[in-house]
Amino acid sequence: MKPSFKLLSSLMIMGAVSSCFADTYQEAQNALTNHNYEKALQYFTQSCDNGDSKGCFSLGNMYEKGEGVGQNKYQAVALYTQACRAGNPLGCSNMALSYDTP
């Protein structure tokens, strides 16, 4: 029995999208490691906008620490919340911790 064309097409698209998330996120990580905050911000934002919870979490970290952006705890919490809702346990943890600190 041959798999349906729709199923194969869906699997191929999902694989391509996952690969794009990974590539964008990895580019952001590389930029952050090299202290290229402008590029890291660009790639993490793109990754987060595309639904990658790791991108949202890392972008939240940048805002929490003020790395390459103005420190903004409110923006960090919003990004941690977005990461948490997308299933990122570290995003959930940082979101919860942010409510526990003044």
CA distance 3 to 69: 49
For residue 100, what pLDDT is reported? 72
Output the pTM of the full model: 0.76
pLDDT digits (tens, 9 = 90+) for 15-41: 444 444 558 999 999 999 999 999 999
| Domain parsing of the chain, residue ranges | 5-100
Copy the structure tokens of residue 70.
Answer: 């103005």
CA distance 38 to 64: 16
Which DSSP symbol is given to 71? -
Residue 54 and residue 25 in contact, taking contact as beta carbons nearer than 8 Å: yes
Tokens 């590029």 correspond to 39
CA distance 77 to 54: 14
For residue 22, what pLDDT is reported? 59
Q: Where does 5-100 sit in CATH, by number? A: 1.25.40.10
Compute mean pLDDT per 10 residues along the chain, 102 residues long, and list them: 46 43 85 96 96 96 96 96 96 90 62
For residue 6, what pLDDT is reported? 53
The torsion angle over the Cα atoms of residues 40, 42, 45 and 46, rounded to 10 degrees, is -120
